[in-house]
Amino acid sequence: MLEKNANKEERTNPDKSDQDQVINVHSRKFRLEEIGVLGAVLILGILLSFGSPYFLTATNLLRVGRQITFFGILSVGMAFVIGSGQIDISVGRMITFIAFAMAWLMNKGIDPWLAFGAGILLGALCGLLNGGLSLVFNVHPMIITLGTLNLFWGLAVGLSGAKPIVISQQSSFLEFGTGRLFGIPMPFIVFIAVTIIGHIVLKKTPFGRHVLAVGANKQAAVYAGINEKRIRLSVMVLSGVLSAISAGVILSFFQTFEPNVGGGMEMDTIGAAVIGGADLNGGYASVLGSFLGSFLIGILRNGLVLMGVGAYWNNFVTGAVIIIAVAVSTVLKARRKQ
C-alpha cells in the first residue's frame, strides 16, 4: 500500500514541479519580450520622426494613445485568453453588439452610466456564451467565436436596422470620452489603468499563474489541483467584460452607435498580443507586452499616414509587421527549447 502511494506521489509531483517550472520560466521571459517590444517601439518612433516633423509631438503621441485605446483594452483580455491556450475572434463584433445595446438603452431614457453597467453585464454574458459553448461541445474556441462573431454582428445590425443611433442625452458619461486629465485623454487613461490592473493580476496573483499553467500544460495543471475548465471559462468572461468597457469608451467618445464599429478590431487585438510576445499555443503572454504591441501598431499606422502612405499600403505594412513578429517569436521559442 505504501509503495502504491509512493508511486502515485512520484507520478503526481513531477507534473506539479513541471507546472511550477513553466510558470517561473515564463515570468522571466516576460521581461525579455517586453524589453524587445519596447526597443522596437523606440526604434520605429525614431525612424518615423525622420519621415514627418509632426510625429514626435506631444499632441500627436497623445492622439495615438487615444486611438489605440479602443483595441488596446481588448488586447489586455486577449493576453489572458491566449495565455490560457484559447483565442477569441469575436471581440470586435462583440463591441458592435454591446455598443448597440448601450446606445439603445440610453435613447430609451436609461441613465448612460446604468446603461454602461448593463453593457458590462452583457459583455460578461457574451464571454460566458463563448466559453460555455466551447466547454460543453469540446470545440476549439476559435470555431465557437467565429460563429458568435457573426451572431453578435447580425443581432446588432438586425436590431438597429443597420442605422446609426445618435445619443440624445446629456450626461457626464458622454463628456468622459472627450475629457482630459492633466492634458491626457481620458480614454487613454482608462487603457493605462486596465493595463496596470491586468499586469498585476497576470503576474502577481494565483489566478494569473493558473491561467498560464493551464495554457502551458493542461494535464499538469489538473494534477496540481487547478480547475482548468473554470480558468478557461473565466478568461473568456474577462474578455467579454473588457470588450464592454471598450464599447463604452468608444460610445462615450463618438456619442453615436455605428453598425460598423468594432469591425476588424479583433485582428489588431490579436496582433498586439502576439507582437507583445503571447504564444498562440498558450502558456505565455504579457499584458505589458500587449500594451506595447498596441502602441507599436498605433505609431506605425499614424506615422505612415503622416508620411502620406495610402490606407491600403498602411494595412499591408501593419500586416507584414505582425507576420514578422509571429515568425520571430516562433524562432525564439524553438531556440529556447534546444
Asked if residue 61 is part of any domain, the answer here is yes
Specify if 283 maps to a domain.
yes
In a domain, 5, yes or no: no
Q: How many domains does the chain have?
A: 1
Rounded to 5 degrees, φ, ψ at 178 are -100, 0
SS3 per residue for 254-288 = HCEECCCCCCCHHHHHHHHHHHCCCCCCCCCCCHH
- Residue 195: predicted pLDDT: 96
Residues 6+ apart with CB under 8 A from 138: none
CA distances from 104 to 161, 189, 215, 331 (A): 12, 26, 38, 48
Cell 439603445 -> residue: 104
Nearest-angstrom CA–CA distance, 184 and 182: 6
Q: In this structure, which amino acid lies at residue 259?
A: P
Q: How far apart are CA 210 and CA 204, in angstroms?
A: 11
Q: Is residue 111 part of a domain?
A: yes
- Asked, for residue 268, whether it belongs to a domain, the answer is yes
Is 19 inside a domain boundary?
no
Contact 236, 86 (CB under 8 A): yes
d(CA 145, CA 127): 10
pLDDT for the residue numbered 335: 66
Per-10-residue mean pLDDT of the chain, 338 residues long, equals 43 45 48 77 87 87 92 96 95 96 93 95 97 94 95 94 88 87 92 96 94 91 91 96 96 92 90 88 89 92 84 80 74 64
DSSP H stretches of helix in 168-310: 172-176, 186-204, 206-216, 218-223, 228-254, 265-275, 287-306
Please indicate, yes or no, if residue 131 is contained in any of the structural domains: yes
> In angstroms, rounded to a whole number, what is the distance separating the alpha carbons of residues 165 and 179?
22
Q: Which domain holds residue 73?
A: 26-333
pTM of the model: 0.88
CA angle 225, 231, 236 (to 5 degrees): 170
Quick check: is 6 in a domain?
Answer: no
CATH number at residue 78: 1.10.3470
* Alpha-carbon separation of residue 133 from 84, 95, 113, 145, 256 (angstroms): 16, 19, 30, 9, 32
Q: What pLDDT score does 5 carry?
A: 45
